Chain A
């Protein structure tokens, strides 16, 4: 006799099965269990029918859920699942009672730190999808009944029920949204620390300024002002307490016009009792004082009344936000490259402000592109003063990320020229003129802050300064013979956009490209195979694979293993679907319509891409040193829990569109 946990085993009967029509007690039991399971699922189904998204699901999907889900009771105060419970094995659905979700650890990563869940709500969707531990601690705050749907059945349901899939996708999208808002809050804080008028004076203007004693002869004071290149001199006593200030206007009024000898002590010429503020006063106080007293400098003192700084009117102006219009005007009227350099810094600052004000990655990258376009156009205009192309049709082209309107803060130049040789013109001579112009322009762009392209994809390279016919022939050649180099070039040059000059030339290139590409499936297939060579760094055991870049262990290249995947897939679909746009988001949206990809599906993909882009911007801005080129290497261990989770989901979206591409183009690796 064998006994097991599930009642009695049936080995004693099996040998007799032949004698009673082939059905023995054991088999009957199995049938009765089947019937029992079916009937017992009734309660669960009745419950599910009352709650979204289950009420929209098919009877078959509900039956699956109801038969597979266990029911567990959690008395008030008991832990349901938490980070220490190991990989989440169930999808939990609350039948009755209340559950509290609390973030593990000290740092709040979402806008809520405690969330209350009630009947019909489920958790932890991200963790059960990923098969890893929950990041939140879920506790029953009231006596609670929960359905436990085992993870494998949950995944089955995800793949078989579109309604359930949508529900989970949207949930993940809402996490993305939350994280985005969280990021914005961080930016806002950093921005406000940097530049509001509420900042204390201790962080503004010159620190520990030069001062002289009251008895210092005027000549000595003037000499050091001249040496130091400063417009004013603070006069302080032996204890460093300010007693006066001597400015250039004092020099005029009280020395030159008053004919004061230069060996007189400075105290005779200074403005006595200067206006001082404690270093904990704000920039706003200083601004008010300047306006009220008609002064240009405020002396800053520490709590002993000793001089610790000087704030000038100019320091305060610098604090005020630079506006979009001012920057544009400044760019468009910039007299030289030097002035454009300052504007480029303003662009960076303004982008930062916009990031802080809550603009998403999509809009932000487009915005940066727009201002960078304005900068580039002005550089071109300035150079056209030395190079005359009147009477010639030509166009300056942007390639790569610039061509896609997806510039982040560290983007180098990718550009070229297309032109038409006028009838009877000398093509070679014209080309040389364009190359000379392009070289000057490339150098100036570098000065303004767009580094020269390491791969020499620049208009000054004879390879990329071509006539319209040459460009067309080049495109055709790449499409007809998709060798590795051709494919690599396609990923750069097929994302072109006109920046200056006759955009009709660029349109003509585009029409040629799209008609050729969509008619050459072998090319698209080769592009697809190429695009699938690098996958998202999702680990089988760990969340992320971080050893792909030998030089940077522990880091993930968010461009190479993240955004580029989306970009590459989008390009192929755009070429196949004849989408004219070059921007990845545009391409995905438009080609999705044509390729019959569901809107929700594509939105989830775009959310993934936007999140990765936002992380890149954050990394380049918050972690990069100002003025230095940021990189795309992030350490996932340094991300907070929520970001890490969403990054993983974003990579999943990358994998998802890759799988789709693989299917659509029959790529077998």
Chain B
């Protein structure tokens, strides 16, 4: 396992980064998943959402990254972070430092999002370009897991707001910010881990397995 990580994250940080950023990125690359992950309760999940100025990761840019922790069943605004990238061109070093801070915040915790492909591609592009790292964390994709775990509500993927409505959660009015969206994703995750446990899917690795299986199963259909 450690060898694979070494292989995956083996690339070093960009040489032209400021020293403190370089050190932080190195710390992150060499880091291991923090703490215990034998159960959902003990696992530190980090829910991630992004804001961008378009839908294409190749040509469009990230304008914000939000992350919120769910740990021991609890979600708290206290355990949240927001990286504002709208003024990102002004000072490259400042942006790099913010991204390094984001890495420190998420550590090697499993990340949770809705439509991981979209979120992860944007993040990968940016982190590769700015910090010179291959960003390949463990992802849990709610878009695929929800139909697998709550098939009584829908057995195929639905738009996020439909899921929220199905669970009686308040979708709010207008567009949600990534931070606000994360708080809703986190609530879905809170419910999801309870259901997963009931189905015998007891830890993060199994959950990721379910997520992948569901994606394969439902895509091939």
Contacts and interface: CB of A to CB of B under 8 A. Distances in A.
Contacts of A4: 34-35
Interface in B46-73: 66-69, 71, 73
Given A13-B23, A32-B101, 8 more contacts: A3-B107, A4-B35, A5-B35, A26-B101, A42-B180, A71-B76, A75-B194, A143-B167
A40 B182 contact: yes
Given A20-B93, A68-B78, A96-B169, A36 B183 contact: no
A43 B184 contact: yes
Contacts of B21: 25
Contact of B187 (A8, A26, A36, A73): A73
Q: A-B pairs with the 7 shortest C-beta distances?
A: A39-B179, A36-B80, A73-B190, A29-B101, A7-B107, A40-B77, A36-B81
Interface string A318-361: 00000000000000000000000000000000000000000000
Nearest to A66: B77
A133 B67 CA distance: 34
Contacts of B66: 36, 39-40
A36 B23 contact: no
Interface in A19-39: 19-20, 23-26, 28-29, 32-33, 35-39
A35 B76 CA distance: 14
B106 interface: yes
B23 to A, nearest CB: 5
Q: Which of A10, A19, A38 has the most CB of B within 10 A?
A: A10
B130 interface: no
Given A16-B20, A35-B81, A148 B179 contact: no
Nearest to B184: A43
Interface residues of A, number: 48
A12 B26 contact: yes
Contacts of B187: 71, 73, 145
30 contacts: A3-B31, A6-B107, A7-B106, A7-B109, A8-B28, A8-B103, A13-B20, A19-B18, A20-B20, A20-B97, A28-B94, A32-B82, A32-B98, A35-B81, A36-B80, A37-B78, A38-B82, A39-B179, A40-B68, A40-B77, A40-B80, A43-B184, A44-B183, A70-B75, A70-B78, A73-B191, A75-B191, A75-B194, A96-B169, A96-B170
A3 B172 contact: no
B112 to A, nearest CB: 14
Nearest to A75: B194
A41 interface: yes
B146 interface: no
Contact of B186 (A9, A33, A71): A71
A24 B23 CA distance: 11
Contacts of A70: 74-76, 78
Interface residues of B, number: 61
A285 B109 CA distance: 81
Interface of B: 18-21, 23-24, 26-28, 30-32, 34-35, 44, 66-69, 71, 73-84, 93-94, 97-98, 100-107, 109, 167-170, 172, 177, 179-180, 182-184, 186-187, 190-191, 194
A12 B105 contact: no
A67 B77 contact: yes
Nearest to A3: B34
Contacts of A148: 74
Nearest to B91: A21
A3 B32 contact: yes
A135 B74 CA distance: 24
A32 B102 contact: yes
Nearest to A28: B101
A25 B81 contact: no
Nearest to B34: A3
Interface of A is mostly: helix
B152 to A, nearest CB: 13
A47 interface: yes
Contacts of A8: 24, 27-28, 31, 34, 103-104, 107
Interface string A65-88: 011111111010000000000000
Contacts of A66: 77
B95 to A, nearest CB: 10
B105 A29 contact: yes
Contacts of A1: 27, 30-31
Q: Which of B30, B44, B68, B77 has the most CB of A within 10 A?
A: B77
Nearest to A16: B20
A40 B23 contact: no
Q: Which of A28, A40, A44, A145 has the most CB of B within 10 A?
A: A40
Interface in A242-282: none
Contacts of B24: 8, 10, 12-13, 25
Nearest to A33: B81
Nearest to B73: A72
A534 interface: no
B190 A72 contact: yes
B20 A19 contact: yes
A12 to B, nearest CB: 5
Interface in A59-110: 66-73, 75, 96
Contacts of A42: 177, 179-180, 183
A287 to B, nearest CB: 62
Nearest to A13: B20
A39 B177 contact: yes
B130 to A, nearest CB: 13
B82 A39 contact: yes
